[in-house]
Structure 1
């Protein structure tokens, strides 16, 4: 009787193990879990729902951030609200979804958002995974560091630690072009800035527009390298193959160019931060034409 009971228990245990194995997440070629995939909503489905889901940053001032009153603000947010207004009749019809730099592609692939508007730099690698709309901004990388130990050239970072955010062009650029520089990587921008303030790294690199804004608001820090690497473009992105939505956004950008919309966006969201430090012509792209 004991043998039969033991056998039954063993059978149940093996079956449970098999079931657990069947439900384990699929692995990619590197052994990591694959990103889930889901079909994105079409333009018609978005209109029928009455809401468009747009992924933005919540901690990247002045492009996408939550202010002291708990409201989402910024250059990308201003644009997102206009998309909702022109598509659905009201800027209140946008549902903001907060994303991290490294999660932007995954949020599109898994259809958690319809559009990403999170300071998304266009790269060839990303083009293979998502579809980019026409650009609305241009940018290069910058490096901010303490005034008393100012980094003025990449060579100054030898034997030092550079802070970057995972999934950004800064991480890619320095990994590929300066492997001799030690990188300290974080998931979120606020974590990266906290690390710089705490002295856990010697400098921080991300888009020059952002580090310039941050340095203006944080005494004792200066952008010693205002431009490094290529000048890139920033664009909205949709799930690969979501052609109808992509074409609508492109036409919207062309139309907005006629009214100099992104210059107005600059005046409302960036000018109060930068003052005269940045010429809008060095950043703003109208009508998708660089």
Structure 2
């Protein structure tokens, strides 16, 4: 772990209870859905996806190291590594659809994607609108700030300052509910939030994995609050009522757990950012969070 994070392995472990083999192209629309849930949400069943031969997976294109487009225009990252294997085991090709945090639920409900694999934190509110599969990662919220003014607590926040957040994230929800007096500086994408942070931002609240990665990759920043709020999990999501696809993903996660797939995923995509000391704290194998 790079020195810029100013976190010890023990500190992070305590706060976190926490390949590119497919086509790699992005798209704005997917194959037309032919099924619907009781509330009118459209989706494609597992059989329909297999008949088409392509699964549409919503991922981030600007959230390194989880989902991003590299210098060759190819999708890479922790979520992509998993998505490639999922498509391979289902016997279909993968079509990547770039999404932003605020669009993830909409893309599922309108049939634009079959699955969301975009660092999607499980919450009760989201579970009312989509169906989450078993988790594959642990996460909490965190806050990163410049070394010149490291934010270690939100209890004495300067009312003249704004906190950077990304619309549609758990950070936005948590701060709105628990710190309503902190003004929020909202952005739609990770790229614009990072740019705002680099151009004089006071602090940025997001998944702690993301802010730790930012501090590791950018000199002059410290994660002063490594854990904020509850400990949560990251999981794939499908349209509400799409039981055949949900069951297939759950079966896949359980099977992959037997071969320690997500540890291999971590070592291939995340180890350069987080090091090996955090692997067991972040990774969930076979959907079994109790083992963490």
Range into which the TM-score falls when normalised by the shorter chain: 0.7 to 0.9
Distance 2:105 2:246 in 1: 16
Q: Deviations over 1:20-44 (max 9, x none)?
A: xxxxxxxxxxxxxxxx965211100
Using structure 2 for the length normalisation, give the TM-score. 0.83
Match of 2:282 in 1: 283
Match of 1:40 in 2: 43
Q: Secondary structure at the match of 2:176?
A: helix
Q: Deviations over 1:90-136 (max 9, x none)?
A: xxx10000000000000000000000000000111101100000011
Distance 1:206 1:143 in 2: 7
Match of 2:237 in 1: 237
Distance 1:219 1:273 in 2: 13
Match of 1:110 in 2: 110
The 1:86–1:125 alpha-carbon spacing in structure 2 relative to 1, beyond 3 Å, is: same
User: Given the alignment of the two structures, is residue 97 of structure 1 paired with residue 100 of structure 2, yes or no?
Assistant: no
Q: Deviations over 1:36-87 (max 9, x none)?
A: 9652111001001111100000011110011122111000010000000100
Q: Deviations over 1:222-241 (max 9, x none)?
A: 11111110000110000000
Q: Which of 72, 76, 101 does residue 73 from structure 1 map onto?
A: 76
Match of 2:164 in 1: 163
Distance 1:274 1:257 in 2: 21
After TM superposition, give the deviation of residue 156 of structure 1 in Å. 4.3
Match of 1:258 in 2: 258
For structure 1, the 5+ residue unaligned runs are 1-35
Moved more, 37-46 or 139-148: 37-46
For structure 2, the 5+ residue unaligned runs are 1-38
Q: Secondary structure at the match of 1:138?
A: strand
Distance 2:91 2:40 in 1: 26
Matched-pair contact (CA < 8 Å) for 2:141–2:205: yes
Q: Secondary structure at the match of 1:157?
A: coil
Distance 1:37 1:97 in 2: 22
After TM superposition, give the deviation of residue 273 of structure 1 in Å. 1.8
Higher alpha-carbon Rg = 1
Matched-pair contact (CA < 8 Å) for 1:64–1:118: yes
Distance 1:280 1:158 in 2: 35
Match of 2:217 in 1: 217
State the superposition RMSD in angstroms.
Answer: 1.3
Structure scoring higher RCO (CA < 8 A, sep ≥ 6) equals: 2
State how many pairs are aligned. 250
Match of 1:31 in 2: none
Match of 2:247 in 1: 247
Q: Deviations over 1:129-175 (max 9, x none)?
A: 00000011110001011000111111243322100000000000000
Match of 1:130 in 2: 130
Using structure 1 for the length normalisation, give the TM-score. 0.84
Match of 2:146 in 1: 146
